[in-house]
Amino acid sequence: MLLNKKILLCVCGGIAVYKAVALVSKLTQAGATVKVIMTESARQFVNPLSFQVMSKNDVFYDTFDEKDSSVIAHIDLADWADLVLVAPATANVIGKLANGIADDMVTTTLLATTAPVWVAPAMNVHMYDHPAVLRNIDRLYADGIRFIEPSAGYLACGYVGKGRLEEPEKIVSIMSKFFEPQQKPLAGKKVIVSAGPTLERIDPVRYLSNFSSGKMGYAMAEAARDLGADVTLVHGPVSLADPHGMKVVAIESAQQMLEAIMKEYDEAAIVIKAAAVADYRPKYAAAQKVKKQDGDAVIELVRTPDILATLGQQKQHQLLVGFAAETNDVETYALGKLQRKNADYIIANDVSKSDRGFGADKNTVTLYGHDFQQSFPSMTKTTLAKQLLDVIVERSGVAK
C-alpha cells in the first residue's frame, strides 16, 4: 500500500526522535518516498544527516533556506505530500497546530498542506494528560487530523505510563492500512444519533436540565458519518459547533426529541441514544415569569416520554443502542435497561467520577449486548466512539 506514496515526515524535538530515524528506514523499505522536515529542537537530538541518509533526500529545517529557487520550499513540500506524518509530535507543536500558529518550517508546512495529516504524540505522561494538551488534541480531531495514540511503558523521563511514541513497525502498518481502499460499511444506511441534554421549561426564564455537553453523542454521530452513514443528529441545547456532513436537528424538550426521532425512525438502520433525556418535566410551564412568594414553593413534575423505550416497543428492523449513566451498580442497572427498553446494546458509563461521562473529554465505558460485554479503557470520546461503532457494526451484522 505504501509503494510510491509520498510521505512528508515532520520531526519534533523529543527523545523519541531516534525512533523517527528507524521509521524513515521502514517507510522507505515499504516503497514510500520520504522527505523530512525537522524542528530546531529535533536537531538538538539527531543530526539531519541521519534522516538524509535514510531517506536519500534533502532534509529541511529552515523556512528561509530555499534550496530550489524555482519554488517556495514549505509550499512545495506541502503540495508534494500524499500524507503528512508528525512523529514524534510534541505538546508544543500539537498546541501550535491546534491554534493555527506557523512560526517555523514544520508548522508553516502543516498549515499549508491539504494532504491528510497524522500526528503521533510522544511526551511525559502528565503532559499528555494535561487539560491544555487534551483540549488541543480534541480540537485537532475536530479539524480532521488523525492520531496515532502513544503507547504505555517506561518513559525516558523515568515515569511509567502513556506517552511513548508508537513503535515504527506499528506506525508503518497504520499508514499502510490508511492507504487501503476505504471501508464504508454503513454506506446507504440511515443512523439517528441523539446528543446533549433536554431542557424542560418551568417558565420563560427557568428550566430543568442536566450537565450533558453533547460531546459523546457528537462523537458517535461523526464516527457513524465516517463509516459512510447518512446521519441525522438530534441534539438538545449544547455549545458545540454543528458537525459537517450530516443533518442536524436542534430540539429543546424530551417531547420534541421524541418527535424529531420518530419522523425518521422507519428508515433508520441504527438509533444511538447518547442524549441525557430529562425523566421529568414541570406539569405546567408558566407563560409568565413566576414571582417569588413568602415560604417554600413546590413544582409538580410529570414523567417525560421514555424515548428509547418507545423506540424499543416500535422496533422492526432497527438496531437500538442506548447509553446508561450510572453512579453505582453499573452492570445491574445497565442490563436492566437493555431488557426493559428492548435495546440491542447499552453503553454504560460510571458517571460518579469527574474524569468521564458528563462534560468530560474522555470516557470509560462497558458495552453490553444480550450475550456479551466489552470494557473500553479511558480514552477521548472521539476515539471511543470509533471503537464502539466498529465493534457494534461488526457484531450486529447491520452493514450486510
Q: Does 318 bind ligand PMT (CB under 6 A)?
A: no
Q: Give the one residue of 61, 128, 147, 323 binding ligand PMT; rule: CB under 6 A.
A: 323
What Rg, from alpha-carbon coordinates, does the chain have? 24
Minimum distance from CB of 39 to ligand PMT (Å)? 34
Whether 314 contacts 271, CB under 8 Å? no
What DSSP string runs through 225-237? HHTT-EEEEEE-S
Q: Give the one residue of 349, 364, 380, 383 binding ligand PMT; rule: CB under 6 A.
A: 349
**Nearest Cα residue to 340 out of 370, 304, 366:** 370
Q: Does 322 bind ligand PMT (CB under 6 A)?
A: yes
Closer CB to ligand PMT, 272 or 398, in the complex = 272
Beta-carbon count within 10 A of 245 CB: 11
Q: Does 215 bind ligand PMT (CB under 6 A)?
A: yes
Q: Does 273 bind ligand PMT (CB under 6 A)?
A: yes
Which amino acid makes up residue 83?
L
Q: Does 117 bind ligand PMT (CB under 6 A)?
A: no
Minimum distance from CB of 395 to ligand PMT (Å)? 19
Q: Give the one residue of 307, 367, 389, 393 binding ligand PMT; rule: CB under 6 A.
A: 307
Burial of 385 from C-beta contacts in 10 A (0-12 / 13-18 / 19+): buried
- Enumerate residues 182-201 that contact ligand PMT by CB under 6 A: 196
Query: Is residue 213 left, alpha or beta, with left meaning phi > 0 and alpha meaning psi from -120 to 50?
Result: alpha
- Considering all CA atoms of the chain, what is the largest pairwise distance in Å, rounded to the nearest integer? 83
The DSSP 8-state label assigned to residue 369 in this structure reads -
The one catalytic residue among 75, 157, 160, 302? 157
Spell out a b/e string for 93-131, using b for 16 or more CB atoms within 10 Å of the CB, else e. Answer: bbbbbbeeebebbbbbbbebbebebbbbbbbbbebbbee
Q: Does 214 bind ligand PMT (CB under 6 A)?
A: yes
Catalytic: 10? no
Dist CA 113 CA 82 (whole Å): 10
Whether 393 contacts 227, CB under 8 Å? yes
Q: Does 275 bind ligand PMT (CB under 6 A)?
A: yes
Q: Give the one residue of 353, 359, 370, 394 binding ligand PMT; rule: CB under 6 A.
A: 359
Q: Does 312 bind ligand PMT (CB under 6 A)?
A: no
Q: Does 358 bind ligand PMT (CB under 6 A)?
A: yes
Binding mask 277-296 for ligand PMT (x = CB under 6 A): x-x-----------------
Cell 458528563, residue? 358
Q: Give the one residue of 133, 155, 319, 351 binding ligand PMT; rule: CB under 6 A.
A: 351
Q: Does 304 bind ligand PMT (CB under 6 A)?
A: yes
**Nearest Cα residue to 304 out of 173, 199, 179:** 199
- Total residues contacting ligand PMT by CB under 6 A comes to 28
Dist CA 76 CA 303 (whole Å): 62
Minimum distance from CB of 132 to ligand PMT (Å)? 19
Q: Does 254 bind ligand PMT (CB under 6 A)?
A: yes
Which of 1-9, 158-166, 176-184, 356-364 is the region at the interface with ligand PMT (rule: CB under 6 A)? 356-364
Q: Which residues are catalytic?
A: 157
Which parts of this chain interact with ligand PMT (CB under 6 A)? Answer: 196, 212-217, 254, 273-277, 279, 304, 306-308, 322-325, 337, 349, 351, 357-359
